[in-house]
Amino acid sequence: MHLKDDGTEVQTLWGELAWQLGGAEGYALVADADRTATNPGTALEKLFKKYGPCLVLVDEWVAYARQLYGAENLPAGTFDTHFTFAQALTEAATVVPGTLVVISIPASDSVRQGLSAGESALNDIEVGGEGGKAALERLRDVIGRKDSPWQPATAEEGFEIVRRRLFEPLEPQAARERESIAKVFRAFYAQHKSEFPPECGEGAYERRIVNAYPIHPELFDRLYNDWSTLARFPAHARRAAPHG
């Protein structure tokens, strides 16, 4: 139970959602469902219509729900109730204009390692054992009916994302220097072909150096292709990688 500054007592995820959108007034729309830890159903539509437009962000839902697996009479709602709520949430967002729900879910090994779609081997470290697998399957089943999957950025797109986050735009003089530096790198790689991969001396790689500047594209390649696929690579660092 969470006691808010206005005195509202919130027990469930849907209670928290309603309170964040509309304070005590918004919470009142789902109060009964929050106190009884039951699905709020169509009350979510009323909530979104009254307080929209709104963007609902739900992160680490699988990590939260797996703690409920196999337990009963929980004040925050049972495992099954959470996914009934997930269905109500996505359906409400679909019918109420100006409402968008974004839910993050862990990646499976089939995505990371290029396994066939039929193989369901999941990464136990990230998903979290039997409860996590059950939660992930239920969540995918629910949101798969309404979802529009966001595809991770490519390594090339990651250059632009990271550069914009870390560095100010280049002044004209610095931009010209960047072009010159990329040409010097390309010429060096072309002169030492036996010591570097052949693509390093090509024009396409020169453009990659320009796009990634002032970070070398090789660093992005290692981060994107090698480090972020490691099972124990920190989740927050994985999101900071070019594809997250």
Best CA proximity match to 8, nearest among 22, 21, 27 = 27
pLDDT of residue 135: 86
pTM: 0.59
Look up residue 153 and give its two tokens. Answer: 């950025």
Q: What is the DSSP letter of 200?
A: G
pLDDT of residue 173: 92
In sequence order, which ranges of 98-215 are alpha helices (DSSP H)?
A: 109-113, 124-127, 129-143, 155-166, 172-191, 203-212
Task: Say whether pLDDT at 29 is over 80.
Answer: yes
Tell me which of 165 and 239 has the higher pLDDT: 165
DSSP assignment of 129-158 equals HHHHHHHHHHHHHHHTTT--PPPPPPHHHH
Average pLDDT over residues 210-229: 81
CA 221 distance to own-chain centroid: 21
pLDDT of residue 239: 43
pLDDT of residue 24: 95
How do residues 110-160 score in pLDDT, each as one tens digit?
A: 334 443 443 344 455 456 678 888 888 888 888 776 656 556 666 677 777
Domain locations in the chain as residue ranges: 2-143, 155-240
CB-CB contact of 152 with 112 (8 Å): no
Best CA proximity match to 64, nearest among 78, 54, 52, 53 = 78
How many whole angstroms separate alpha carbon 233 and alpha carbon 97? 39
pLDDT of residue 231: 57
